[in-house]
Amino acid sequence: QVQLVNSGGGSVQAGGSLRLSCAASGSIFGFNEMGWSRQAPGKQRESVAHINSEDSTSYADSVKGRFTISRHNAENSVYLQMNSLKPEDTAVYYCDGDFLLDSNGATWTGWGQGTQVTVSS
């Protein structure tokens, strides 16, 4: 019932910036949490940054101070501003979320197709 669509990503030099966007669509009543995880070659997927319905944010220690997750004026769209990028940030980034489907508490949890972020030295 829910579709997550990523945009952004690409290749940048170390120290550069990228901005990722994610939009959720479908029969969404509300959301609990949205954000990004990432997976680098040879690594397990890890949480990067997430924001909940009360605008409380969480970040991986490795990106604190460099990445900022935000919502604009739509609760089902989120943005990840990535500054001071490092080669170790290279990974496929997946938008993910946990959504309310109705007023009875039904939920849907999933992730989008992913987008490649490559940071060169």
pLDDT in tens, 17-37: 999 999 999 999 988 999 999
> Of all residues in the chain, what percent carry a pLDDT higher than 70?
99
pLDDT tops 90 at residue 74: no
Cβ-Cβ contacts under 8 Å for 55 (sequence gap 6 or more): 71
The two most distant CA atoms of the chain are separated, in Å, by 50
> Of all residues in the chain, what percent carry a pLDDT higher than 90?
92
The reported pLDDT for the residue numbered 73 is: 66
Strands 91-100 and 67-71: unpaired
Helix ranges (H only) for 18-86 are: none
Contact 15, 29 (CB under 8 A): no
Contact 20, 115 (CB under 8 A): yes
**Overall average pLDDT of the 47-75 stretch:** 93
pLDDT tops 90 at residue 81: yes
Termini Cα distance of the chain? 41
